[in-house]
Amino acid sequence: MAKFLIKWFQIFKNSGIKFFEENPFKHSASTAYFTIFSLPAIGLVAITVAGYFYEDDVVRTQFLDQINQLMGESSSEQIDSLLSSATVQSDRVLFQIIGIGTLLFSATTVFISLQDSLNTIWSIKAKPKKGIVKFIINRLLSLAMIAALGFLLLVSLLADTVISFIQTHIKEILDGATIYIIQIMNIAISLGFITLVFAIIFKVLPDAKLKWRDVWVGAFVTTVLFVAGKFSLGFYLGTANLTDSYGAAGSFVAILVWVYYSVLILLFGAQVTFIYSKEMGRIILPKEGAVAVSVTEVERERGTAE
């Protein structure tokens, strides 16, 4: 047990050192900025995907409920308003195509930013000569990520249906134990949902080859950090009273702050994954079309450089 704790202490220590060398605050800020413009489009695409299998109104309510649990009621209401205004409405085919294209471009931008951040954390870079092809592949990959979020939203809906069934039909059989079983199921489903999202991000999004065993360890560690951070961030947003400071823009600022710190946690989890994989002797390698990056510091004496 002592060796296990010492090993993980070293992993977190080394992760923290390398994490701050990669300027994570800049990456978190840029991703948070893009999220403000991408979130309505991401929500609309994810809801549309899940809506093929479930009623749109139910899916939308579930999506907003997830946002409410993560960011708070005011942010959820703001996103609901943005979703309503993000719908493509036009009778002309050309305008519909342009509108849908703009919507998809906006939805995928935040994932491109996140991909660049993860590549930096894992010391990987796309080859410049593959620029145009890589751009198209990245957009398609980001769109697939949003579709996956739609399916996960559907899974969350089905899980809620099962829990509701248990609560309604098996309550008499389980008696007083029902509430505890339902609470445990809710926590397990929530943690499983978040872990799966992080696992998909780590496995699919970066230009890196990563073993599934490292993916799951990294995703679980990131989930634990994320849940702990969620309570801390929720406390901060609840006491900061951003509405008084920023007025009508308070909800937007709350979303910006929440995404900023969430991305910081995600990037630190990615750094832990990188160090853990290295400690286990499994180096994260670049995919085809990407290269590993090594930074070397070179000092020159004054007057020798021309």
Query: In sequence order, what DSSP letters do the residues of 16-39 get, joined into one string?
Result: HHHHHHT-HHHHHHHHHHHHHHHH
Q: What is the mean pLDDT of the chain?
A: 76
Token pair for residue 124?
């990987």
pLDDT in the model for residue 172: 60
pLDDT in the model for residue 231: 76
How many domains are there within the chain?
1
Range of the domain at 134: 2-292
**Any idea what the Cα angle at residue 126 is, between residues 287 and 294, rounded to 5°?**
90
300 domain residue, yes or no: no
Neighbours of 246 (CB within 10 A): 13
Listed in sequence order, the residues at least 6 apart from 196 whose beta carbon sits closer than 8 Å to its beta carbon are: 152, 219
213 domain residue, yes or no: yes
Q: Which residue has the higher pLDDT, 198 or 45?
A: 198
189 domain residue, yes or no: yes
Confidence band of 306 (pLDDT split at 50, 70, 90) = very low
186 domain residue, yes or no: yes
CA distances from 105 to 38, 81, 141, 236 (A): 9, 20, 12, 33
Write the pLDDT tens digit of every residue in 261-295. Answer: 888 988 999 999 989 888 888 888 888 777 877 76
301 domain residue, yes or no: no
Confidence band of 87 (pLDDT split at 50, 70, 90) = low
Listed in sequence order, the residues at least 6 apart from 111 whose beta carbon sits closer than 8 Å to its beta carbon are: 138, 141, 142, 145, 146, 205
217 domain residue, yes or no: yes
298 domain residue, yes or no: no
pLDDT above 80 for 8: yes
Residue 248 is given by DSSP the state G
Strands (E), the chain: 124-126, 208-209, 285-286, 290-292
Q: What are phi and psi of 209, to 5 degrees?
A: -100, 120
pLDDT above 60 for 103: yes
305 domain residue, yes or no: no
Listed in sequence order, the residues at least 6 apart from 187 whose beta carbon sits closer than 8 Å to its beta carbon are: none
Q: Which residue has the higher pLDDT, 89 or 37?
A: 37
How many Cα atoms occupy the beta-carbon half-sphere of 272 within 13 Å? 23
Q: Which residue has the higher pLDDT, 229 or 294?
A: 229
**Any idea what the Cα angle at residue 285 is, between residues 271 and 260, rounded to 5°?**
30
